Amino acid sequence: MAKAKWPGLSLCVCVGASLGAAATLLLPASPDQTKPKSFLAAVFTPSEEELQTAIENDLSNIQLAVRRVATAALDATKTVTIRAGDTMSDVLQRAGIDRGVTLNIIEAVKQVYNPRRLQSGQALTLNFIDDPHTDDRHLGEMTFELSPGESVAVERTDDGTYNARKIVAETHRELTRYDGSISSSLAAATAEAGVPHKILDDMVKMFSYDVDFQRDIQEGDAFSVMFERVVTADGRVVSTGAIRVASMTLSGSPLKLYAFKDADGNVDFYNEKGEGVRKALLRTPINGARLTSGFGMRQHPILGYSKMHEGIDFGAPTGTPVFAAGDGVIEKREIFGGYGNYVRIRHSSGYATAYAHLSRFGQNIQVGKRVRQEQIIGYVGTTGRSTGAHLHYEVLRDARQVNPMTVKFPSSEKLEGTTLARFKESRSTTDRQYAELAHPSSVAMIGPTREDSALR
């Protein structure tokens, strides 16, 4: 590429001289200036109108020169965007870089990153430099971001080759708090407040043992959550960490849950008394679904007559993951009449849970296999006698179906002794940090980045 010329620079020098001469002629002499004007000055002294015209012309030329300088500077930096179907080679050659240099750049990038992983919409910043010995312009540096806090820089060396390196920004951990009022649903309220979706999912899981998200949520209820995140020095969020404390106020009654790590290193959530939130079974073994049919007598949508509905239905898109409601062993995994694809899990204390109309079964879900609570056992579908995609969920106690929304599940863990004392100390620290973040969406730095949350 041709080297940019700077005609404005010599112009600026000339203009400056003109302005200086004009100022000398216009400014009055000081009282002690007694030396007479020279013959040339006396003969060629311009009128005020001529000086004004000359100054205006010179100022116009200065503005033109400045615009040329600014344009040349802008031309030295380009930002190009990856389009659908583009390769890095396509983008660089479209920016005017010849094929040989492009290949050298790509080979350098491959040492730190696979250029095939570039996504549509990603931006590459190209900085060009002029060779002082020739009229050529070269790509001096290229940078592109992989994620917040991580980028790749490619630089031209003195011998004309290129080196690439990965740049990781300095980060720190901080606590942040969000508060909000609920008008329709927790999902809508947290989205409006800017709460990350991961935090919403975690809140749904931790409160689902005690809260029926279809029936218990009323307009005017509220939520609050404080969690960790990793951010760069300029405030960009690199990752969202663990919830430290979360609360929901439902019909005026608050429910506050704290994260706590026990002596074995396991992190779980407990209420203010140190009672574990985790119950033997989940009431809602699916995220983001709506309750479409309750437990009890109803007009069957297909058969057309009143029939006992011995479970509850959750409407959700086909393919939505379905979780095991609790630890247990797979008793059934088959196509089971009107239930379609069906899984039944045997739990402790005489309980069992059943999941029907699945589109497909989860990985390694076989009869006799042990599963853990919240393990994926299948996916929402509409197999069997079904009018649309939904999960039919049953809870059985001593082989009889009971209402999953009203049955009292076995009690959860309760901290005691020295463990309870440690929990209370941890709770006090959390409450202090929570109170310090009194304003919604406020933050407090808690230390340098480490691989894991402070809870783990």
Task: Tell me the DSSP string of 187-241.
Answer: HHHHHHHT--HHHHHHHHHHHTTT--TTTT--TTEEEEEEEEEEEETTS-EEEEE
Whether 204 is covered by a domain: the verdict is yes
Comparing 71 with 285, the larger pLDDT belongs to 285
Query: Which pLDDT score is estimated for 8?
Result: 42
Is 189 found in the same domain as 240? yes
CA distance 326 to 203: 18
In a domain, 314, yes or no: yes
d(CA 291, CA 214): 6
Task: Decide: helix, strand or coil at residue 106.
Answer: helix
Instruction: Evaluate whether residue 32 is within a structural domain.
Output: no
Q: How many domains does the chain have?
A: 4
∠ CA 452-454-456 to the nearest 5 degrees? 60
Residue 355 and residue 389 in one domain: yes
Looking at the structure, do residues 71 and 81 belong to the same domain, yes or no?
A: no
Q: Assess whether 297 and 389 both reside in one domain.
A: yes
Q: What is the pTM of this model?
A: 0.58
pLDDT at 220: 92
- Interval 46-99: pLDDT, tens: 677 777 777 767 676 666 555 544 444 445 888 999 999 999 999 999 888 889
- Residue 73: its pLDDT value, please? 45
What mean pLDDT do residues 130-134 have? Answer: 74
**pLDDT over 50 (residue 373):** yes
| pLDDT value, residue 65 | 54
pLDDT given for residue 92 in this prediction: 92
Looking at residue 451, its amino acid is: E
Q: 269 and 219 in one domain? A: yes
Residue 241 CB neighbour total at 10 angstroms: 20
pLDDT band at 19 (very low <50, low <70, confident <90, very high): very low
298 and 348 together in one domain: yes
- Interval 349-367 mean pLDDT: 94
* Pair 184, 273 in one domain: yes
Region 318-334 average pLDDT: 94
- Report the CATH number that the domain containing residue 188 is assigned in CATH: 3.10.450.350
Q: Is the pLDDT of residue 253 over 50?
A: yes
CA dihedral for 265, 271, 275, 276, sign (positive or negative): negative
Higher confidence at residue 278 or residue 17? 278
Indicate the pLDDT class of residue 209, thresholds 50, 70 and 90. Answer: confident
Give CA–CA dist 142/119, Å, rounded: 17
Does residue 38 lie within any of the structural domains? no
* Mean pLDDT value across residues 9-32: 45
Are 147 and 250 in the same domain? no
From 103, 138, 168, the end of a domain falls on 168
Same domain, 261 and 309: no
pLDDT of 70: 47
DSSP 388: S
The least confident of 23-27, 373-377, 397-401 is 23-27
Q: What is the pLDDT of residue 9?
A: 39
The predicted structure's pLDDT at residue 255: 93
| Distance from C-alpha of 203 to C-alpha of 393, rounded to nearest angstrom | 22
d(CA 206, CA 200): 10
Domain end call among 134, 168, 202 = 168
Tell me, what's the pLDDT at 130?
A: 82
Final residue belonging to a domain, choices 109, 140, 168 = 168
Domain assignment present for residue 456? The answer is no
Domain that holds residue 113: 77-168
364: in domain: yes
Give the CATH number, domain containing residue 332: 2.70.70.10
Q: Could you tell me how far CA 50 lies from the centroid of its own chain?
A: 64
Q: Residues 341, 367: one domain?
A: yes
Regarding whether 295 and 398 lie in a shared domain, the answer is: yes
Label residue 4 by pLDDT band (50, 70, 90). Answer: very low
| 62 and 83 together in one domain | no
Q: Is residue 346 part of a domain?
A: yes
Give the side-chain half-sphere CA count within 13 A for 431.
10
**Would 39 be classed as within a structural domain?**
no
Is pLDDT of 116 > 50? yes
Q: Which of 31-45, 335-349, 350-364 has the lowest mean pLDDT?
A: 31-45
